[in-house]
Amino acid sequence: MPVFEYTALNIKGKTVAGIVDADSAAMARQKIRSGGLYPVTIQEAGEPPTGIKPGFLSGLQIVNRVKADDLTVMTRQLSSLVGAGIPLVSAIDALIPHSRSQPLKKQLTQIKNALLEGKSLSSALSDHPQTFSALYTHMVNAGESSGTLEMILERLADVLEKQQLMKTRIRTAMVYPVFMTVVGIGVLSFLVVVIVPGMAQIFKDMNQALPGPTRLLLWASAWFRMWWWALLSGFAGLTALCISLYRSGKGNAMLDRILLRAPVIGSLICKISTARIARTLGSLLQNGVSMLTALMIVGRIAGNSSISHAVEQASLQVEKGKGLAASLETSGIFPSLALQMIQVGEQTGELEAMLYRTADLFDRETESSMMRMISILEPTLILVMGVMVGFIVLSVCMPIFEMNQLVM
């Protein structure tokens, strides 16, 4: 059933917007009026707005993504409604008007229509892979099969919250270094472009030989003022090249291998991926997903193509009857501590619980490593800034000192 977006006026004359599902625009208009609203505009979701030519958006890919926070809130609310005994269709219908995300509203409406047509929830969710990942749909499928959908949705919300919390911590930790870098580049650019050219005329009027550092500074200032556009173009081109390489299959694999082998960053990426894989694998196994299917899913969410390939190879070994820890050890990528914990879990029959502990451990290790990196990066940035500003000040002051010595 099509989904229509509309704007309408309520009894007080206030403009409201929303979405409604109907067989046609006429039925959608009738449905809106039955709710006490006076429709102003109605158009099918996904169509370009009225007044925009069909070819205007050609060549542009516009993706309405659902934020992780909105998805987490919706999952927890759906779990509460299902746990209260409300039918699934009614529960989703109740969530639609309260969702803050317009893209999520559209998708929930389409999911509700799919359920009314007889589809299962996991099948309806799989029609929207950009929002509901393979992990999400497989866990929901396991919950439907075992009759524990409420519990599965609650665990899904917990997993999503932990993933979002880790991303937030990483972003928060990087705010200060990025701010310092931007401010440092701005200050140095101001000194070189504005201050130094003003001093150059003074040095020229002195009519004497300038020290080497001063000549180097004047040359750098003149070059930067003349070729700044080439510098920016080169930076933009390099960025575009890196993005293009990353989006291509071979380039992505090459960059992932380089990052994984980097001295400090590689260890951090490995810890983050290990925690993500362990938590996801534990959730899937605990909810009845088979080992091979679970490994296939976690291989997709590893975040690094080299690690994903290692998980795929491990799944082939597990299929032949080899243990999980021994299969993962073959790649030489995963930390030995994680492998030992997984092996203990296999031997004691508590693999799921041990996977959760492994995830918690490496989440803490990741946060600790991030804090150590930031604690080293911050004074390093300050030191670099100090050295460069000191060089500029020294280069400006040296001719003045020499002139004073000649006068004396």
Average pLDDT, the chain: 80
Residue 39 CB neighbours (<10 A): 19
Lowest mean pLDDT among 43-52, 128-137, 171-180, 325-334: 43-52
pLDDT at 51 over 50: no
pLDDT digits (tens, 9 = 90+) for 113-135: 888 888 888 889 888 888 888 77
Mean pLDDT of all residues in 95-120:
85
pLDDT at 354 > cutoff 90: yes
Q: How far apart are CA 95 and CA 105, in angstroms?
A: 8
- pLDDT given at position 203: 72
Strand-by-strand arrangement of the 3-9 sheet = 15-21, 3-9, 38-44
According to DSSP, residue 96 is labeled G
Among the residue ranges 42-46, 196-200, 238-242, the one predicted with the least confidence is: 42-46
| pLDDT for res 305 | 84
Q: Supply the pLDDT for residue 371.
A: 81
Q: Report how far apart, in Å, the C-alpha atoms of 296 and of each of 122, 246, 290, 309, 340 are.
A: 17, 22, 10, 10, 22
pTM over 0.85: no
> 264-267 — which CB contacts under 8 Å span 24+ positions?
264/373, 267/369
If pLDDT is split at 50, 70 and 90, which confidence band does 24 have? confident
